[in-house]
Structure 1
């Protein structure tokens, strides 16, 4: 019988994948990956690995959770290594508990490989420490999507503390109402970090009083993390990540050969938002579906041809994409 590894891909920046996660990913026979996983990590897979997309969109799940559970049983019962690749950390709002229970009921072996969760990544890449000797001695990770009878002690948790709200944008109005009802200071600093640790990251600061209007004004969408607490005041404008030379650049790499993972990292290390596509009749066709869904979600401003022949073949830099992946 095989084994299922629940691997945390980290949050955004592909270099946040752990060494153990990288080793397991490189040995996988089947990789079941989520929407919030940066798909350039699939370039680490061996040539024979099978890719299965289980991406979830709000109110539109490609695979429903029960189908994912059944899929894990089916592939886990075979003599192969299966990686369930999840964004962030599998054990933090990743529903890994449900998937583990399914495997346990079938006697299927598994391991969990932790990852860098969004709270750590988004705050660090925005210059906000989650704890601080002067401002915060405790940290709470919470989701805005709570059970009907569930409540959070916002007053107590923000007193010399920090709260990180996952998936909080859609519920921001009700969250603000509960904060004010509990007499949390309307002037308590708030940061909203969209697409944390990627080159498209946006960090917007506000207060409890202004957070709803700020999110609406800037049209913030998930994935976004809301940080509540005095630690937000530590951010003094654009911080280290946002000062990297290629931050904000959305770059698409194209080559007729398989693109080396280290080549991709050469751009992300400078702050760029990067995606890479191999094109041509000898391309790895496993990635065709990966490219289609990713490009339907994201746009790019610059194209870098890693093969000079592509420059001569295509007068319009986007023609190659239309021909190869549509």
Structure 2
């Protein structure tokens, strides 16, 4: 029998991965990773590790949950170390409970390695404390996608408290309706944070009364976190993360050699949104599919050639370049 580690990759910034998560990831024989996991974390894997993508897009699941459960069983029965790499914290809206139940039913060993959840990451990188002596003595983490008939006490939870709604953009109309029906102040501050803790992060502040218009005006899309509460008033313009020198820059690093994780984070530490690609005949071909998928979903407009010879080889438009190197 093998062992399955449910590892929280953290939210966005690849350095939010814990030390234990890094150690386990470096030892894994198989890595089953989700869509919201930053794929540069796969550069920590050993050369023999297999990658399996299990991402879920809205209304389009690459692997359905029952198939993921079965996959974990099949791999877990073998004498190997499996990492189930999930965005944020696997125990917070990560469906880890269902996957654990499946493993328990067959006696497959597992461990959970917690991660930094979106509420902590997005709020911290936007300069919003989740608790505050003057504003909030409690925090509620909730999903906007609730079961039929399920009701939240918005009034009670936001009085001297903070509410964090995960993936709440699509349900913002019903959320606003419930807030107002329960007598929550129309002037209560709201923050919507898109792609929290990545260099592409966007934070808008508004109020309950106009939160729908704010999302539509700025065309905010998931993944986004909605924070409701007086703590939002602590944000005063761009905060520490947004003031880093490379914040807002979307950069691809390109080299003919393997690009190590430490090189990548020298850019993310300065606030950049970074991806990394090894090119050439000696490239690690495990990443070909990873690159194709990620670059089809995400746009980058700056290139840094770590091998200067490549700068003259690839003097082409960005879209042509990407088609050739992936």
TM range (shorter): over 0.9
Q: Does 1:40 align with 2:15?
A: no
Q: Does 1:221 align with 2:221?
A: yes
Per the alignment, in what secondary structure is the counterpart of residue 248 of structure 1?
coil
Q: Secondary structure at the match of 1:209?
A: helix
Query: In 2, Cα distance between the equivalents of 1:11 and 1:204?
Result: 19
Aligned to 2:89: 89
Distance of 2:314 and 2:228 partners within structure 1: 49
Give the aligned partner of residue 54 of structure 2: 54
Q: Specify the SS of the correspondent of 2:209.
A: coil
Q: Within 2, Cα distance between the matches of 1:30 and 1:128?
A: 37
Runs of 4+ aligned residues of structure 1 deviating over 6 Å after TM superposition are: none
Counterparts of 1:14 and 1:284, CA distance in 2: 20
Structure 2 CA distance, aligned partners of 1:88 and 1:165? Answer: 14
TM-score after normalising by structure 2: 0.99
TM-superposition CA deviations, 1:106-148 (whole Å, max 9, x none)? 1000000000000000000000000000000000000000011
Aligned residue number for residue 240 of structure 2:
240
User: Take 1:200 and 1:322, find their aligned partners in 2: how far apart are those partners?
Assistant: 23
Contact 1:92 1:117 in 2 (8 A): yes
The answer (yes or no) to whether the contact 1:303–1:317 under 8 Å persists in 2 is no
Distance 2:148 2:140 in 1: 20
- 1-structure distance, mates of 2:313, 2:153: 61
- In the TM superposition, what is the alpha-carbon distance from 1:313 to its structure 2 partner? 1.4
Please give the residue correspondences for 1:288-303 in structure 2 after superposition, counting only pairs within 5 Å. 288-303=288-303
CA RMSD in angstroms comes to 0.7
Who is 1:149 aligned against? Answer: 149
Are the aligned partners of 1:144 and 1:165 in contact in 2 as well (CA < 8 Å)?
A: yes
Query: How far apart are the structure 1 equivalents of 2:207 and 2:325?
Result: 47
Contact 1:128/1:232 (8 A) holds in 2:
yes
Which residue of 1 is the match for residue 127 of structure 2?
127
Q: Write the distance in 2 (CA, Å) between the matches of 1:247 and 1:286.
A: 30
The CA distance in 2 between the partners of 1:184 and 1:195, in whole Å, is 27
1:322 corresponding residue in structure 2:
323
Where in structure 2 are the equivalents of 1:188-267 lying within 5 Å?
Answer: 188-267=188-267
Gaps of 5+ in 2: none
Distance 1:85 1:116 in 2: 13
Per the TM alignment, residue 314 of structure 1 is displaced from its structure 2 partner at its CA by 1.9
TM-score (norm 1): 0.99
The verdict on how the C-alpha distance between 1:317 and 1:265 changes in structure 2, with shifts beyond 3 A counting, is farther
**By how many angstroms is 1:78 displaced?**
0.2
Offset from partner CA, 1:228-266 (integer Å, 9 cap, x none): 000000000000000000000000100000001111000
2:13 equivalent in structure 1: 13
- 2:185 is matched with 185
Report the CA distance between 1:323 and its aligned residue.
1.7
- Alpha-carbon distance, 1:321 to partner: 2.5
Deviations along 1:140-194, one digit per CA (max 9) or x if unpaired, are 0000000111000000000000000001000000000000000000000000000
Distance in 1 (alpha carbons) for counterparts of 2:113 and 2:103: 16
Taking the aligned partners of 1:171 and 1:322, their CA distance within structure 2 comes to 36
Residues 279 and 320 in structure 1, CA contact (< 8 A), matched pair in contact too: no
